[in-house]
């Protein structure tokens, strides 16, 4: 005997497991209402037990459900199901079922991805990010495991908003690494625990592009902490040094995306996408290679004083490149090449010149030192204090009090963001925490003003779907229509029967309003064994009034067409097959008995007596 399939939310029949991750289990499922295959991601029970996580998860999932783009895995529905063991409501997300593989699986195959194909994959990811950023949604967890490649070659990014829900409830690097995954794609600001914006996704996309081109991420280490340190402090090796097929424009694009300072990266995902497409089209990119770190040169020894010295970049000597070409045409000004012989008179004149320069230099150093000493004696030393840590996500009053405790002043400015959960809290400071500043100076506190708010209009209930969606759009909101799972018999097909959040609620303008639309359908009740009158009453109680009885004079219901529990339109025709009525027995004709008082008719023959044997 096989186990009954698990039904989630009274609608989704759970099938085989198609993926496991650090934070969720993904299963293939069947939407019984719409008759389509979907993917369902159920969160881990230990994460679902956090009420803060549940609230953030719902908000982020609703926001992600509003994204409609060919390079983004669509989110159809969200909900919660009680875990029978822990009695914890476990959130789940119903998503588009994508037939294909993740980029992580493709990279693990060990086969080299051609540079052009790597650029095409990157364009798809950047298209998705450009769209989501315009909607005010930052992904925060771009990595190969979150990018699907369909069987038709289309790139699809998934898990928008989930990483934010996790990151907001994880308190340590260990927890974050366990939930979000590897630290190899974290931006420096993420590694430092600072507030991130869309440019953090650009950095992660740069890490992804880097790995697609050379089959390894830009930074590797024994632990998430060591990798995070490299993201913050170290420069990546240019990809061209790992693969000779990588060109200088590819280096320029990926290294610009991997800049430590967000201001040095691409301002938008669209700008980076355009540069990658320029490479594919053979055009000049806007990004330039960062200047190389200048090598350290030791002071010449006395034995080498008479020799002309030149420092070549790595590989220049081996490539037999002239110095003036290697240094960008500056060889002549640096005195490279063959020097003419120096005579005795020239040596004496140069020696005098050097003595003169040395004496003048000593006099200048003495004057500067004396001037600084005089200023130091006249003016009191300015005490410096570091900007205190712990200001982020504090209220303005709390952050101001912390600054006053160390002798600093607060100056505030506000900034609109899509995050409604941290309104009134500090998003970032200028200077950042730990920076030494003069005592009494000002520190800028950037306060989250939250998203633009809008009010859900009244009167949406019983309104037609298209009219309700237009009313939401006129109010500056986005609506999403879903079919009703349970409705009253009197609900009119195509009209709104529920609004979530409720009418009159003030919500962020980026939040999607869910409209539950009546389908006009119900499940046909069982009428078996009922009389004609009982069947009519039972069907009417469920909204079915178009019953046809066959035969008309039957007695009790034998079967119905459609069968009981079939989901059909309430105005559909239902044929009720009745037990035919039993035929009435025919009356037996009575034998005619002659009246004894009646005289026999002489015309009738008189019966002859039977002979006695």
- Nearest 5°: the CA angle 164, 169, 174 is 95
- State the pLDDT at residue 435: 81
Counting Cβ atoms within 10 Å, is residue 514 exposed (0-12), middle (13-18) or buried (19+)?
Answer: middle
- Chain centroid to CA 88: how far? 25
The reply to whether CATH 3.30.10.20 applies to domain 386-448 is yes
Name the pLDDT band for 110 (thresholds 50, 70, 90). confident
Considering 221-230, 349-358, 560-569, the range whose residues carry the highest mean pLDDT is 560-569
Q: What pLDDT, on a 0 to 100 scale, did the predictor assign at position 582?
A: 78
Residue 294, pLDDT above cutoff 90: no
Cβ neighbors of 238 (< 8 A, separation 6 or more) are 246, 251, 255, 289
Q: Please classify residue 92 by burial: count the beta carbons closer than 10 Å to its beta carbon, then call 0-12 exposed, 13-18 middle and 19+ buried.
A: buried
493 is in an annotated binding site: no
pLDDT number for residue 307: 31
Does residue 218 or residue 416 have the better pLDDT? Answer: 218
Pair 512, 480: CB distance under 8 Å: yes
Q: What is the CATH number of domain 1-97?
A: 3.30.200.20
CATH topology of domain 522-578: Trypsin Inhibitor V; Chain A (3.30.10)
The highest-confidence range among 286-300, 352-366, 463-477, by mean pLDDT, is 463-477
**Alpha-carbon distance values, 502 to 496, 499, 550 (Å):** 12, 5, 47
Residue 585 per-residue DSSP state: P
Q: Using alpha carbons only, what angle is made at residue 190 by residues 186 and 195, rounded to the nearest 5 degrees?
A: 150
pLDDT at 298: 37
| Catalytic residue chosen out of the listed positions 31, 77, 141, 159 | 141
Q: 76-79 long-range contacts, Cβ below 8 Å, gap at least 24? A: 76/31, 76/38, 77/9, 77/482, 79/8, 79/9
d(CA 52, CA 56): 6
The string of pLDDT tens digits covering residues 416-455 is 877 767 888 988 888 887 788 898 999 999 998 888 889 9
- Is the pLDDT assigned to residue 362 strictly greater than 80? no
Indicate if 490 belongs to the active site.
no
**Those residues with Cβ within 8 angstroms of residue 482's Cβ, 6 or more apart along the chain or in another chain:** 77, 514, 515, 516, 517
Quote the DSSP letter at residue 190: H
Task: Report the distance separating Cα 337 and Cα 331, nearest Å.
Answer: 8
- pLDDT of residue 177 exceeding 70: no
Helix (H, G, I), strand (E, B) or coil at 362: helix
* pLDDT tens digit sequence for 515-550: 999 999 999 999 999 999 999 999 999 999 999 999
- Which pLDDT belongs to residue 602? 54
Q: Can you state the percent helix, strand and coil of the chain, rounding each to 5?
A: 30, 20, 45
Please state, in angstroms and as integers, the Cα–Cα distance from residue 456 to each residue in 3, 159, 471, 480, following that order: 45, 27, 9, 13
Q: Mean pLDDT for the chain?
A: 79
413 vs 19: which has the higher pLDDT:
413
Q: What is the pLDDT of residues 126-154, one digit of tens each?
A: 999 999 998 888 888 899 999 999 988 89
Comparing 324 with 419, the larger pLDDT belongs to 419
Note the pLDDT of residue 63: 67
Domains 453-519 and 522-578 equal at CATH topology level: yes
Rounded CA gap, 411 and 396, in Å? 10
Tell me the CATH class for 99-291: mainly alpha
Q: Mean pLDDT, to the nearest integer, of 190-200?
A: 87
When mean pLDDT is compared across 224-228, 365-369, 380-384, the lowest value belongs to 365-369
Quick one: pLDDT at residue 330?
Answer: 31
Residue 340's pLDDT is 40
**CA angle at 289 for the pair 284 and 293, rounded to the nearest 5°:** 165
List C-alpha distances in Å: 14 to 7, 26, 85, 110, 371.
Answer: 6, 10, 18, 33, 81
List the 442-448 sheet strands across, edge first: 409-415, 442-448, 426-430
- 179, pLDDT greater than 90: no
How do the domains of the chain map onto residue ranges?
A: 1-97, 99-291, 386-448, 453-519, 522-578
Separation between Cα atoms, residue 47 and residue 169, nearest integer Å? 9
Which of 517, 476, 475, 486 has the alpha carbon at shortest distance from 499? 517
Please tell me the least confidently modeled range out of 23-27, 168-172, 219-223, 253-257: 168-172
Tell me the CATH class for 453-519: alpha beta
């Amino acid at each position: 005997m096989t186990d009954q399939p698990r039904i989630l939310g009274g609608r989704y029949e759970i099938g085989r497991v198609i993926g496991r991750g650090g934070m969720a289990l993904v299963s293939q499922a069947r939407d019984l209402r719409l008759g389509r295959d979907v993917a369902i991601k159920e969160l881990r029970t230990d994460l679902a037990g956090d009420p803060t996580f549940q609230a953030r998860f719902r908000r982020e999932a609703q926001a992600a459900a509003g994204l409609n783009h060919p390079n983004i895995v669509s989110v159809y529905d969200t909900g919660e199901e009680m875990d029978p063991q822990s009695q914890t409501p476990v959130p789940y997300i119903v998503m588009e079922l994508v037939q294909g593989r993740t980029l992580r699986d493709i990279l693990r195959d060990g086969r080299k991805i051609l540079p052009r194909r790597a650029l095409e994959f990157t364009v798809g990811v950047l298209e998705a990010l450009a769209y989501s950023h315009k909607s005010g949604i930052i992904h925060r967890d771009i990595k190969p495991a979150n990018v699907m490649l369909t069987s038709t070659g289309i790139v699809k990014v998934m898990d928008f908003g989930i990483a934010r829900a996790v990151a907001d409830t994880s308190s340590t690097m260990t927890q974050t690494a366990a939930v979000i995954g590897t630290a190899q794609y974290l931006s420096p600001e993420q590694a430092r625990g600072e507030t991130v914006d869309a440019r953090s996704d650009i950095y992660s996309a740069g890490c992804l592009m880097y790995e697609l081109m050379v089959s390894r991420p830009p930074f590797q280490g024994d632990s998430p902490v060591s990798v995070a340190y490299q993201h913050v402090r170290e420069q990546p090796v240019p990809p061209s040094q790992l693969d000779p097929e990588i060109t200088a424009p590819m280096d320029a694009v990926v290294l610009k995306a991997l800049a430590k300072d967000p201001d040095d990266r691409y301002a938008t995902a669209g700008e980076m996408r355009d540069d990658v497409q320029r490479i594919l089209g053979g055009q000049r990119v806007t990004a330039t290679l960062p200047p190389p770190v200048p090598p350290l040169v030791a002071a010449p020894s006395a034995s080498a004083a008479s020799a002309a010295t030149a420092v070549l970049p790595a590989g220049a000597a081996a490539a037999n490149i002239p110095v003036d070409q290697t240094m960008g045409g500056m060889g002549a000004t640096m005195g490279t090449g063959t020097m003419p012989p120096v005579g005795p008179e020239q040596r004496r004149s140069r020696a005098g010149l050097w003595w003169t320069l040395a004496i003048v230099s000593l006099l200048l150093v003495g004057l500067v030192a004396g001037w600084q000493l005089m200023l130091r004696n006249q003016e009191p030393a300015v005490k410096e204090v570091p900007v205190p840590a712990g200001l982020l996500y504090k209220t303005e009053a709390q952050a101001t009090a912390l600054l006053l405790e160390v002798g600093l002043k607060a100056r505030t400015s506000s900034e609109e963001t899509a995050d409604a959960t941290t309104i009134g809290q500090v998003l970032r400071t200028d200077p950042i925490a730990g920076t030494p500043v003069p005592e009494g100076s000002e520190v800028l506190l950037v306060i989250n003003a939250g998203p633009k708010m809008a009010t859900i209009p009244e009167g949406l209930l019983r309104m037609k779907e298209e009219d309700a969606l237009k009313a939401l759009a006129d109010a500056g909101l986005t609506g999403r229509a879903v079919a009703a799972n349970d409705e009253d018999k009197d609900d009119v097909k195509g009209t709104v029967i529920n609004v979530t959040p409720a009418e009159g609620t003030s919500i962020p303008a980026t939040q999607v309003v869910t409209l539950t639309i009546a389908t006009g359908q119900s499940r046909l009740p069982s009428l078996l064994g009922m009389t004609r009158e009982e069947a009519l009453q039972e069907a009417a109680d469920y909204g079915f009034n178009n019953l046809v009885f066959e035969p008309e004079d039957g007695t009790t219901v034998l079967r119905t067409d459609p069968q009981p529990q079939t989901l059909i339109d309430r105005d559909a025709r239902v044929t009720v097959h009745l037990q035919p009525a039993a035929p009435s027995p025919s009356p037996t004709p009575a034998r005619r008995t002659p009246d004894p008082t009646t005289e026999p008719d002489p015309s009738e023959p008189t019966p002859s007596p039977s002979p006695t044997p």
